[in-house]
Structure 1
Amino acid sequence: MQLFALGMNHQTAPLALRERVVFAAERLQNALTEFVQAKAVREAAIVSTCNRTELYCASGEPGHALDWMAEYHRLKAQELRPYIYTLPQEKAVRHAFRVASGLDSMVLGEPQILGQMKQAVRAAESAGTLGTTLNRLFQRSFAVAKEVRSTTHIGASVVSMAAATVKLAARIFPRLAEQKVLFVGAGEMIELCATHFSAQHPRAVTFANRTLERAEGLAQRFGGTPLVLAKLPEALPEYDIVVSCTASSLPIIGKGLIERAVRVRRHRPVFMVDLAVPRDIEPEVGGLDDVFLYSLDDLAEVVREGLDVRQSAVVQAEAIIETQVDSFLHWMRLRDRVPLIRQLRETGEAARQAELERALRALARGDDPKAV
């Protein structure tokens, strides 16, 4: 059985395209089941994050996988093809190990991808599409990532997206303690951002979310105020800093909404960061006067800080990965030989049984035992 991986990431595709091929978490299991049934793939897992969408498959044809991905997202395969990488078995294994170890991340060495890959495995398990081969691949990926992090400095001086958001905000508002901050969403990234902003003691913090209960929990933790998302339009002009990261498939903050907010604010500047994929804030908002809008890709330069410290660990990490790739491929070769070994054993057993039966018949006829 052959492995392959197919996908796009922050290095090969712009955010405008990446956001169109995101697999929503609540639909991932159904998508996997549909993919396996439609394209005759024995095993499949999908890693879908802000910075990458990747299909890992055992057996099947990469071309069929691309066609399915395009069809699922209502796109044409030719739209995706220039941005897609297709990795055959050895390269797919190496890639999985590098991704899990943080070597392929926008933020070199960031640890969040490991948790995201584990979520992908759980989804594939629940969908019944994670077989022996892919399960082994991912479990080895997690083990390699652990070894890399424990024996190198790959995670040293990591500047996270959350920390980068605060650094950018400080460039617009040098005194963050005087600003009001609005967080839209209530997931892990918002929680991380709130942790970093709270260290700057902003004037006020508000959490807007569709589910008020979750917003209340974060507000209580960080000394803020909860807000139901439906009240966002009337509340928006109050805030100097807006950080948004929801799971919405469509933008929830439009250009018109921000235009009105800027007028109410009498053109006082507003700093906005959109950490969502697909994006929460319409890109056109960035063209408005007095609005400073940053997307995930815009944060790339900031998060590269500390790269020199971690770059020296990459060579050591790559050596660990190469050793583990060889080990995994050896396991794959042995596994591929199992059917042949089983067949040889069965053939030998059949021949032995046939010879035994022939001898017993000869003895029953009275033939000389020495001759038999």
Structure 2
Amino acid sequence: MNLVVLGINHETAPLAVRERLAFSQAELAPALSALAGAPGVAEAAIVSTCNRTELYVNAHEVDAVLEWFAASRGRNPLELAPHLYRLIDEDAARHAFRVAAGLDSMVLGETQILGQLKDAERVAREAGSLGVLLNGLFQRAFQVAKEVRSETRIGAASVSMAAAAVKLAERLYPSVSECSVLFIGAGEMIELCAAHFCAQHPRGMAVANRTLERGARLAEQYGGSAMLLSDLSERIAEFDIVVSCTAAPLAIVGKGTVERALKRRRHRPMFIVDLAVPRDVEPEVADLPDAYLYTVDDLAEVVRNGHAARQSEAEAAGLIIEAGVHEFRQWLAGRALVPTIRELKDHADRIARNELARARKRLAAGDDANDVLERLSEQLAAKLLHAPLATLNAAAPEEQESLLRTTRRIFRLHD
């Protein structure tokens, strides 16, 4: 079996491709059960975020995983292949550690991905698709990420997606404090965006969510109001800034809705940030005059501005990651020895039990105890050494030198 990572991210695929391959939260558990049950697959975990969809598996063949991935998304494997990266064993571990440490993110050093990896590990564990190999990988990835955070400043001054959205809004409006802001959704990313935008003291703030109770909890933190998604088309015109990030499988803000809102606003501009994958806002909205639509990919330029300043910290983080890869390699090697070690112990135990049974029979028959013990030790030594001695004697001349060195090392025979 091999550790395999098969995936796409913001570097290998545009948003239009990523959103077609993403897994919703509701899909993850059944997808994991199906993937772990695919031929040649023993373990599986899926990481699906706005910037990446990755399959972490313990599998015989990468091609079988690719075929499953393509079929699960209703795609042809040839269509996916140009956007995919395939990593095996050590390279797969290195990638996982880089992801956990924030070195593979659009925002260098961001911390949100670590939480997303932990969620993926938890979901896989609850689905029963997480085994020893993937558990070992994820636990070591979490430890490496912790070391990178504590020993480098990779996360210092990290420009988050939320902070980037505020910066872009300030290019359009003189001040966010003069704007009304609407947040669509109430998940982790929206909470982060709300914290950044509300730090600028906007004129008004509201949260639109599928359930009013959850939206109200977030709105109350910042003195805002809550509404249902069903009220969105009637009220969206009230807001200058709209930030959306839901798990909806289809767009919830259409071109017609925004077009009508702009007419009601008398064509005052509307700044819209769509952080969802799949997208919450129809891409045609960008064609409307006075509508300024930004997606996660559009924020790349802003968030990458701070990369150069953190490059030296990234290099230091890379050294920590390589040390983690080395430890993981040793752990894998140790795991490969386990079946042989177990079989060797079982073999020795069988010999010991058989000889002990014979010795007890002789003692019960009244044989001399010293004679029984001497015979027991002789038989144990002979039977334990029979196989290695027979192998040495039967070895071809070209094998003998290597076998001798190995034998002397295993039994610690000194010259």
TM-score (norm 1): 0.94
Q: CA deviation at 1:308?
A: 2.3
Q: CA deviation at 1:66?
A: 1.1
Contact 1:156–1:309 (CA under 8 A) maintained in structure 2:
no
- Whose Rg is larger? 2
2:283 pairs with 1:266: no
What residue is the counterpart of 2:323 in the other structure? Answer: 323
Contact 1:8–1:53 (CA under 8 A) maintained in structure 2:
yes
2:74 pairs with 1:70: no
2:226 pairs with 1:226: yes
Distance 1:353 1:285, change over 3 A: same
Aligned partners of 1:107, 1:19: CA distance in 2, in Å? Answer: 19
Aligned partners of 1:59, 1:234: CA distance in 2, in Å? Answer: 51
1:266-303 residue CA offsets vs partner (Å, 9 max, x unmatched): 22111111000110001111111111100000000111
Aligned partners of 1:205, 1:324: CA distance in 2, in Å? Answer: 44
3-state SS of 1:19 partner: helix
Aligned partners of 2:262, 2:332: CA distance in 1, in Å? Answer: 60
What residue is the counterpart of 1:6 in the other structure? Answer: 6
Q: CA deviation at 1:182?
A: 1.2
Moved more, 309-318 or 157-166: 309-318
What residue is the counterpart of 2:392 in the other structure? Answer: none
What residue is the counterpart of 2:95 in the other structure? Answer: 95
What residue is the counterpart of 1:311 in the other structure? Answer: 311
2:124 pairs with 1:121: no
1:229-280 residue CA offsets vs partner (Å, 9 max, x unmatched): 1111111122111111111000001111111112222221111110001100
Moved more, 351-360 or 308-317: 351-360
1:148-195 residue CA offsets vs partner (Å, 9 max, x unmatched): 110011101101111111100010001222211111111111111111
3-state SS of 1:223 partner: coil
Aligned partners of 2:353, 2:185: CA distance in 1, in Å? Answer: 70
What residue is the counterpart of 1:195 in the other structure? Answer: 195
Q: Give the root-mean-square deviation of aligned CA atoms.
A: 2.1
Aligned partners of 2:2, 2:290: CA distance in 1, in Å? Answer: 54
Contact 1:157–1:309 (CA under 8 A) maintained in structure 2:
no
3-state SS of 2:298 partner: helix
3-state SS of 1:183 partner: strand
Q: CA deviation at 1:28?
A: 1.1
Q: CA deviation at 1:344?
A: 2.3
What fraction of aligned residue pairs are identical, expressed as a percent?
Answer: 57
What residue is the counterpart of 1:133 in the other structure? Answer: 133
Larger relative contact order (CA 8 Å, sep ≥ 6): 1
Aligned partners of 1:25, 1:294: CA distance in 2, in Å? Answer: 24
What residue is the counterpart of 1:159 in the other structure? Answer: 159
What residue is the counterpart of 2:237 in the other structure? Answer: 237
**Runs of 4+ more than 2 Å apart:** 344-364, 368-372
Aligned partners of 1:227, 1:283: CA distance in 2, in Å? Answer: 24
Letter of the aligned partner of 1:109 in structure 2? G
What residue is the counterpart of 2:147 in the other structure? Answer: 147
What residue is the counterpart of 2:410 in the other structure? Answer: none
Aligned partners of 2:190, 2:349: CA distance in 1, in Å? Answer: 64
Aligned partners of 1:134, 1:230: CA distance in 2, in Å? Answer: 42
Aligned partners of 1:125, 1:344: CA distance in 2, in Å? Answer: 32
TM-score (norm 2): 0.85
1:73-98 residue CA offsets vs partner (Å, 9 max, x unmatched): 11111111111111010000111111
Aligned partners of 1:228, 1:257: CA distance in 2, in Å? Answer: 16
3-state SS of 1:281 partner: coil
What residue is the counterpart of 1:208 in the other structure? Answer: 208
Aligned partners of 1:352, 1:238: CA distance in 2, in Å? Answer: 84
Q: CA deviation at 1:306?
A: 2.2
Q: CA deviation at 1:342?
A: 1.8
Moved more, 89-98 or 36-45: 36-45
Aligned partners of 2:335, 2:199: CA distance in 1, in Å? Answer: 53
Contact 1:46–1:54 (CA under 8 A) maintained in structure 2:
yes
Contact 2:161–2:299 (CA under 8 A) maintained in structure 1:
yes
What residue is the counterpart of 2:345 in the other structure? Answer: 345
Q: CA deviation at 1:359?
A: 7.8
Letter of the aligned partner of 1:240 in structure 2? D
What residue is the counterpart of 1:105 in the other structure? Answer: 105
What residue is the counterpart of 1:288 in the other structure? Answer: 288
Distance 1:214 1:352, change over 3 A: closer
Q: CA deviation at 1:316?
A: 0.9
Letter of the aligned partner of 2:173 in structure 1? F
1:194-221 residue CA offsets vs partner (Å, 9 max, x unmatched): 1111121111111111111111112211
Moved more, 60-69 or 276-285: 60-69
Q: CA deviation at 1:355?
A: 5.9
Q: CA deviation at 1:225?
A: 1.5
Aligned partners of 1:356, 1:213: CA distance in 2, in Å? Answer: 72
What residue is the counterpart of 2:400 in the other structure? Answer: none
3-state SS of 2:107 partner: coil
2:184 pairs with 1:174: no
Letter of the aligned partner of 2:59 in structure 1? S
Aligned partners of 1:253, 1:118: CA distance in 2, in Å? Answer: 31
Letter of the aligned partner of 1:206 in structure 2? A
Q: CA deviation at 1:59?
A: 2.7
Could you list the runs of 5+ residues in structure 2 that have no partner in the other structure?
380-415
Letter of the aligned partner of 1:161 in structure 2? M
Aligned partners of 1:161, 1:93: CA distance in 2, in Å? Answer: 26
Aligned partners of 1:354, 1:179: CA distance in 2, in Å? Answer: 85
